[in-house]
Chains A and B, each alone.
Chain A
Amino acid sequence: MQPTPSPLRTLIRWLLHASLCGLLACSSPDAQPLRIATSRWPGYELLFLADSLGFFAQAGVRVQLLEFLGTGESRRALERGRVDAAGLTSVDLLFAQRSGPSKPRAVYVIDSSRGGDVILGRPPADHLQALRGRRIGIEPASINLLVLDQALHSVGLDLVDVTTVPLNPSAMKTAFLAGEVDAVTSYSPYAEDIAALPGVVTLFDSSQIPDLVVDLLAVDSRSLSTRQADWQRVIAALEQARQYLLDEPQAALAMIADHLGIDIEQTRQALAGLRFIGLDEQAQWMTPRTGALMRAIDFSRAALQDVHLLPPDLDIQALVLPLDARASLPRTRR
Chain B
Amino acid sequence: MTPLPSLRRRLLLPLALIGVLLAGSAILLAHVAFSAHLHDQLLARARQLADSLGDAAETITDLDTLQRLVAAQGAAEGVELLVVIADSDPPRIIAATRLGWIGRSPMAVSELGELLDRHDAFDCHGSHGQALCYSAPQAMVIGSGDGDTGLTPGTVLVRIDRTALENNARHTTLALSASIALATLLLLLCSARLHRRRVFEPLNAIRLALEQRAAGARSTRAPVLYDDEIGHVADCLNGMLDRLDAQDEHLQRLARLYAALSETNQTIVRAREPEKLFSEICRITTDFGQLPLAWIGRVDARREYIVVSACHGPDSDYILAQAPIALDPDRPEGFGPPARALLSGQAQISNDTLTDPRTAPWHARARAFGIASTASFPIRSGGQTIAVLSLYARSAHFFDGDVVRLLTETTEDIGFALDNLLAEQARAEAETALRDSELRYRRLFEANPLPLWVYDRDSQTLLAANTAALETFGYGQDDWRQLTLHQLLPADESQSLAEALEHENADSETVWRLQRRDGSTLFAEVHSYPLGFEGRRARLLLIHDISARREAEAKLEFLANHDALTGLPNRVLLNDRLRQTINIAHRHGTRVGVLFLDLDRFKVVNDSLGHAVGDRLLQHVAQRLRSCLRAGDTVSRLGGDEFVVILNEIGEPEQAGRVAEKILAQIAQPLMLEERELHISLSLGIALFPDDGSDADTLLRHADLAMYLAKEAGRSDYRFFTADLNARALERLSFEGGLRAALEHGEFVLHYQPQVAIADGELIGFEALVRWQHPQLGLVPPNRFIPIAEDSGLIVALGEWVIEAACRQNRDWQRQGLPHVPIAVNLSAVQFRHRALLATVAGALAESGLAADCLELELTESILMQADRVTLDTVSYLKELGVQLSIDDFGTGYSSLGYLKRFPVDKLKIDQSFVRGLDAADDVIVTTIIGLAHNLGLGVIAEGVETAEQARLLLELGCGEAQGYHFGRPLPATEARGVLLHENERRQLSAPRLPLTRH
Identify the A interface with B (CB < 8 A).
Answer: 2, 6-8, 11-12, 15-16, 18-23, 25-26, 30-33, 35, 37, 39-40, 62, 64, 66-69, 73, 77, 82-83, 168, 170-171, 258-261
Contacts of A33 in B (CB 8 A): 128, 164
8 Å CB interface, B171-185 against A: 171-172, 174-175, 177-179, 181-182, 184-185
B102, A261: Cβ atoms under 8 Å?
A: yes
Contacts of A168 in B (CB 8 A): 64
A8, B128: Cβ atoms under 8 Å?
A: no
Given A31-B168, A33-B164, A171-B64, the answer on whether A19 and B178 have CB atoms closer than 8 Å is: yes
A-B contact pairs, 15 of them (CB 8 A): A12-B188, A15-B181, A16-B185, A18-B178, A18-B181, A19-B178, A19-B181, A22-B174, A22-B177, A23-B178, A26-B175, A31-B167, A66-B74, A67-B99, A77-B75
Given A12-B188, A31-B167, A261-B103, the answer on whether A6 and B5 have CB atoms closer than 8 Å is: yes
Interface 1/0s, chain B 694-726, versus A by CB < 8 A?
Answer: 000000000000000000000000000000000
Contacts of B102 in A (CB 8 A): 170, 261
B97, A21: Cβ atoms under 8 Å?
A: no
A82, B72: Cβ atoms under 8 Å?
A: yes
Contacts of B182 in A (CB 8 A): 15-16, 19
Across the A-B interface, the 5 shortest Cβ-Cβ residue pairs:
A22-B178, A19-B178, A261-B100, A82-B75, A19-B182
B99, A31: Cβ atoms under 8 Å?
A: no
B71, A66: Cβ atoms under 8 Å?
A: yes
Identify the B interface with A (CB < 8 A).
Answer: 3, 5, 8-9, 12-13, 16, 20, 64, 67-68, 71-72, 74-77, 80, 97-104, 128, 164, 167-168, 171-172, 174-175, 177-179, 181-182, 184-185, 188-189, 192
Q: How far is the CB of B15 from chain A (nearest CB, A)?
A: 9
Most buried by B among A8, A18, A19, A39: A19
Contacts of B13 in A (CB 8 A): 7-8
Q: How far is the CB of B132 from chain A (nearest CB, A)?
A: 16
Contacts of A23 in B (CB 8 A): 175, 178-179
B167, A69: Cβ atoms under 8 Å?
A: no
Q: How far is the CB of B425 from chain A (nearest CB, A)?
A: 74
Q: How far is the CB of B955 from chain A (nearest CB, A)?
A: 160
Contacts of B103 in A (CB 8 A): 261
CA of A39 to CA of B167, assembled, Å: 28
Q: How far is the CB of B176 from chain A (nearest CB, A)?
A: 9
- Please pick, from A35, A83, A261, the residue contacting B101 in the complex, using a CB distance under 8 A: A261
- Please pick, from A67, A73, A260, the residue contacting B97 in the complex, using a CB distance under 8 A: A67
CA of A168 to CA of B3, assembled, Å: 80
Contacts of A39 in B (CB 8 A): 99
Q: Which residue of B lies closest to A51 (CB)?
A: B127
CA of A6 to CA of B10, assembled, Å: 13
Q: Which residue of A lies closest to B173 (CB)?
A: A22
B185, A15: Cβ atoms under 8 Å?
A: yes
B16, A8: Cβ atoms under 8 Å?
A: yes
9 more A-B residue pairs beyond the given contacts A30-B167, A66-B71, with a C-beta to C-beta distance below 8 A: A15-B181, A18-B178, A22-B181, A31-B168, A40-B100, A82-B75, A170-B99, A260-B100, A261-B103
Q: How far is the CB of A40 from chain B (nearest CB, A)?
A: 5
A8, B68: Cβ atoms under 8 Å?
A: no
CA of A163 to CA of B797, assembled, Å: 229
B71, A69: Cβ atoms under 8 Å?
A: yes
CA of A260 to CA of B101, assembled, Å: 8
CA of A26 to CA of B80, assembled, Å: 22
A12, B171: Cβ atoms under 8 Å?
A: no
Contacts of A11 in B (CB 8 A): 16, 20
CA of A8 to CA of B196, assembled, Å: 13
Q: Which residue of B lies closest to A82 (CB)?
A: B75
Contacts of B64 in A (CB 8 A): 69, 168, 170-171
Contacts of B80 in A (CB 8 A): 64
Contacts of A7 in B (CB 8 A): 9, 13
Contacts of B20 in A (CB 8 A): 11, 15
Contacts of B75 in A (CB 8 A): 35, 37, 66, 77, 82-83
A19, B16: Cβ atoms under 8 Å?
A: no
Q: Which residue of B lies closest to A48 (CB)?
A: B100
Q: How far is the CB of B315 from chain A (nearest CB, A)?
A: 60
Q: Which residue of B lies closest to A262 (CB)?
A: B100
Contacts of A19 in B (CB 8 A): 177-179, 181-182, 185
A66, B97: Cβ atoms under 8 Å?
A: yes
Q: How far is the CB of A74 from chain B (nearest CB, A)?
A: 9
A261, B104: Cβ atoms under 8 Å?
A: yes
CA of A25 to CA of B176, assembled, Å: 12
Q: How far is the CB of A264 from chain B (nearest CB, A)?
A: 14
- Please pick, from A6, A12, A25, the residue contacting B9 in the complex, using a CB distance under 8 A: A6
B171, A69: Cβ atoms under 8 Å?
A: no
B3, A2: Cβ atoms under 8 Å?
A: yes
CA of A69 to CA of B69, assembled, Å: 11
Contacts of A69 in B (CB 8 A): 64, 67-68, 71, 99
Q: How far is the CB of B829 from chain A (nearest CB, A)?
A: 139
A8, B167: Cβ atoms under 8 Å?
A: no
Q: How far is the CB of B508 from chain A (nearest CB, A)?
A: 96
CA of A171 to CA of B98, assembled, Å: 17
CA of A8 to CA of B20, assembled, Å: 12
Contacts of A40 in B (CB 8 A): 99-100
Q: Which residue of A lies closest to B183 (CB)?
A: A19
